[in-house]
Amino acid sequence: MLQPFVIGLGRAGSGLHLRVLAQAREVAPGLFADGPVVACDPDVRRHRPDVTLVDSIGAAAASLDPHRTVVHVCTPPQGRAGLLAELAEHGFRRVIAEKPLATSLEELAAIETIRDRHDMDIAVVSHWLESRLTEHLIGLVARGGLRSVTFDQDKPRFTRSCATTGHPTAFDVELPHSLGVVLRLAGAAELAEAECADMRVADTVLPRLGSARLVLDHAGGVRSEIRSDLTAPIRRRRISLELDSGTVVGHYPIGADDDHAQLEINGRRVVFRDDALTRWMVRAYVHHHRPAGEHGTFDLHADIIRLLTAAKERTLAHAR
pLDDT digits (tens, 9 = 90+) for 22-69: 999 999 999 999 999 999 999 888 989 999 999 999 999 999 999 999
287 occurs within a structural domain: no
Backbone dihedral region of 112: left (phi > 0), alpha (psi from -120 to 50 degrees) or beta?
Answer: alpha
Question: Do residues 32 and 22 make contact, with C-beta atoms less than 8 angstroms apart?
Answer: no
pLDDT over 90 for what percent of the chain? 88
CA distance 223 to 205: 32
Judge if 117 and 157 occupy the same domain.
no
The string over 198-232, giving b where at least 16 C-beta atoms fall within 10 Å of a residue's C-beta and e elsewhere, is: ebeeeeeebebbbbbbbbbebeeebbbbbbbbbbb
pLDDT for position 319 = 66
Does 16 share its domain with 112? yes
The residues facing 151 across adjacent strands are: 226, 239
Q: Name which of 179, 185, 211, 216 is nearest 198 in CA terms.
A: 211
Residue 289 lies in a domain: no
- Domain assignment present for residue 260? The answer is yes
Residue type present at position 90: H
Residue 300 lies in a domain: no
C-alpha 116/C-alpha 95 separation (Å) is 14
Q: Is the dihedral of CA 284, 67, 8, 104 positive or negative?
A: negative
* Residue 115, C-beta contacts closer than 8 angstroms, at least 6 positions apart: 84, 122, 298
Residues 48 and 115 in one domain: yes
Domain identity same for 205 and 312? yes
Whether 82 and 149 map to the same domain: the answer is no
Q: Are residues 140 and 199 in the same domain?
A: yes
Q: 311 and 169 in one domain? A: yes
Per the CB < 8 A criterion, the answer to whether 213 and 195 are in contact is: yes
Q: Is the pLDDT of residue 293 over 80?
A: no
- What's the pTM? 0.94
Whether residue 121 is found in the same domain as residue 191: no
In a domain, 301, yes or no: no
122 and 137 in a common domain? no
Number of domains in the chain: 2
145 in the same domain as 115 = no
Q: What is the pLDDT of residues 107-163, one digit of tens each?
A: 999 999 999 999 999 999 999 999 999 999 999 999 989 999 999 999 999 999 998
Determine contact, residues 240/248, Cβ cutoff 8 Å: yes
Last residue within a domain, chosen from 90, 111, 126: 126
- 26-40, 84-98, 213-227, 285-299: the lowest-pLDDT one: 285-299
Q: Which helix (H) or strand (E) holds 274?
A: none
Q: Look at residue 286 and tell me if it is in a domain.
A: no
Domain that holds residue 10: 3-126
Kindly state whether residue 296 falls inside one of the protein's structural domains: no
Q: What is the mean pLDDT of residues 166-172?
A: 91
Q: What is the CATH number of the domain that holds 103?
A: 3.40.50.720
Phi-psi label, residue 119: left if phi above 0, alpha if psi -120 to 50, beta otherwise = left
Domain boundary among 108, 126, 144: 126
Domain assignment of residue 27, yes or no: yes
Domain CATH number, residue 180 = 3.30.360.10
| 169 pLDDT above the threshold of 70 | yes
Coil vs helix vs strand at 7 = strand
Asked if 13 and 120 sit in the same domain, the reply is: yes
pLDDT tens-digit readout, 242-267: 999 999 999 999 988 899 999 999 88
Share above pLDDT 70 across residues of the chain, in percent, rounded to a whole number = 99
pLDDT of res. 320 = 61
Question: Which of 96, 71, 55, 73 has its CA nearest to residue 4?
Answer: 71
pLDDT over 70 (residue 201)? yes
Which pairing describes strands 246-251 and 204-218: parallel, antiparallel, or unpaired?
unpaired
pLDDT of 292 strictly over 90: no
**Which among 256, 191, 252, 255 has a CA at the least distance from the CA of 226?**
191
Query: Which of 73, 104, 126 is at the close of a domain?
Result: 126
What mean pLDDT, rounded, does the chain reach? 95
DSSP string, 188-248: SEEEEEEEEEEEEETTEEEEEEEEEEEEEEETTS-EEEEEEETEEEEEEEEEEEEETTEEE
Q: Are residues 252 and 315 in the same domain?
A: yes
